[in-house]
Amino acid sequence: MASLRQLEYFAEVAEVGSLRQAAQRLGVTQPTLTVQLRALEEALGVVLFERTRNATLLTPAGRDLLPEALTLMAQWRNIVESAHLISDHSHSTYRLGVPPTLGPYLLPSLLPSLHQRFQQLRLHVREEVPDMLLKGLEEGRFDLVIGPISSVPEALVREPLFREPLFLASPVDMDFPAVGDVAERDLRGLDILAMDERHTMRREVERICERAGARLNSDYEGTSLDTLRQMVVMGMGLAFLPALYVRSEIHRPEELRVQRLQGGRLFREHAFLYRRHAPSRHFYQQLKAHIREIITRDLGDTVTPLD
């Protein structure tokens, strides 16, 4: 008989396509993972993976069975959540997903206050790009998501949290307006650097480049905000950086010039998301309200809270 743990192993290997990486993420040894997958295949009577030298790929049977395995795992998590509600849902562990361009710069302001308010609450935080966050929430790999996600399917609830401005970063030695806000016309013909296409922020930057007549430099793409900042410092172009990142990480103004875009409506809007019929949804609403209070109190000078 297949176990839920074996289904979890199956789903993790299917996601990363590597036994070694899946074992690391699951916190087990690779031989243990291999034995459990073989036991699952024997119990089901099918081969789930094709193992090559460089990857572990789903077989056609594996692709057919994966959605049902994910559904079973999500149903089991709902049972666990329902059981927690019988006692106290604030004593549970919840899986929170955030994008890497937000989590490190927002969570240090949130987590201490959340712990003070809900002392038995545990948040297991994992970073993913927005598209993977949305998919993970739908499939039950996340319980909650905070990020720049603008539209969701009917099965999910999206509640606006705050609006975060984007600032223009330029090298200090560049012949560029050094005082005050920058106008869009000042960007005409200039190279703008951006994150790769997995990040929603790129689409906002693409729009302003098209509007201002700037060139989006696709030859050099940032894999992180730190990488983007370093490319600007090296004179490879200009870039837009989120306000929370600027607040947290830009401490040496002699390296980098950071300015607002004059009259620009350049920002990203972050939301709080969860599954519509999750057993803990009433607690999620309490949690969201407290997060909004913290943002208003501690970050109101940097971002704009949304109702």
CATH number for the 4-81 domain, one of 1.20.20.10, 1.10.10.10, 3.30.413.10, 1.10.3720.10? 1.10.10.10
Architecture field, domain 93-162+268-305: 3-Layer(aba) Sandwich (3.40)
255: confidence class by pLDDT, cuts 50, 70, 90: confident
Determine the pLDDT at residue 138: 92
Higher per-residue pLDDT: 149 or 174: 149
Tens digits of residue pLDDT in 280-294: 888 899 999 999 999
- Which residues are CB-neighbours of 235 under 8 A, at least 6 positions away? 171, 173, 174
What mean pLDDT do residues 26-30 have? Answer: 90
87: confidence class by pLDDT, cuts 50, 70, 90: low
For residue 110, pLDDT beyond 70: yes
Tens digits of residue pLDDT in 186-209: 888 989 999 888 888 888 888 888
113: confidence class by pLDDT, cuts 50, 70, 90: very high
Question: Would you kindly state where each structural domain of the chain is located, as residue ranges?
Answer: 4-81, 93-162+268-305, 169-243+251-263
What mean pLDDT do residues 143-168 have? Answer: 94
* Residue 45, token pair as written in the block: 């009577």
Tens digits of residue pLDDT in 55-82: 889 999 999 999 999 999 888 888 877 7
What backbone phi and psi angles, to 5 degrees, belong to 147?
175, 180
Just give the CATH number of 169-243+251-263. Answer: 3.40.190.10
102: confidence class by pLDDT, cuts 50, 70, 90: very high
Determine the pLDDT at residue 89: 62
| The two domains 4-81 and 169-243+251-263 share their CATH topology (first three levels equal) | no
Is pTM, for the whole model, over 0.95?
A: no
Beta-strand relationship, 215-222 and 56-58: unpaired
